[in-house]
Amino acid sequence: MSDIPPDLDWIRAAPEDATGPGPWIELAFEQGNGENDPEAPVHIRETSAPENVVTTNRRKWDAFVLGVQAGEFDHFVAGVEGFEPTRRTPTETTTEPTRAATRARRTET
């Protein structure tokens, strides 16, 4: 397990009007070797169990966020009440390799 710096600034991913303890997801971004370091650590935790931290890097986090925005994970929540699928243009297909995964692989080489 990696050492998590104790002085991280955790950002809560919750609606602006959210009240109460959650549980919410929190993120903390380390600087690494500069503001745009793709290998800089990104830490993720849940407020109900802050001692459990998942660590990835900025490159992988960015690929994940882009994938979510592109609707590449919509199938995981298709049955959830209130879910609305991401609108795609007619030229986009769901059978192509995920764009975020392709971008992540390109940056590794």
List the domain range (segments joined by +) for residue 87.
11-108
DSSP symbols for 18-49: --SS---EEEEE--TTSTT-TTSEEEEEETTE
Can you tell me the mean pLDDT for 22-38?
90
Q: Is residue 16 part of a domain?
A: yes
Q: Is residue 6 part of a domain?
A: no
Q: How confident is the model at residue 52 (pLDDT cuts 50, 70, 90)?
A: very high
Query: Above 70 in pLDDT, residue 1?
Result: no
| Strand order through the sheet with 49-57 | 11-13, 25-29, 41-46, 49-57
Task: Give tens-digit pLDDT for 83-105.
Answer: 888 776 655 544 444 455 545 55
Mapped onto helix, strand or coil, the DSSP state of residue 78 is coil
* Radius of gyration over every alpha carbon of the chain, rounded to an integer in angstroms: 16
Mean pLDDT (the chain, rounded): 82
Q: Is residue 93 part of a domain?
A: yes
Residue of 100 and 11 predicted with greater confidence: 11
> What pLDDT does 93 receive?
47
Instruction: Give the number of domains in the chain.
Output: 1
Q: Is residue 62 part of a domain?
A: yes
Q: Is residue 30 part of a domain?
A: yes
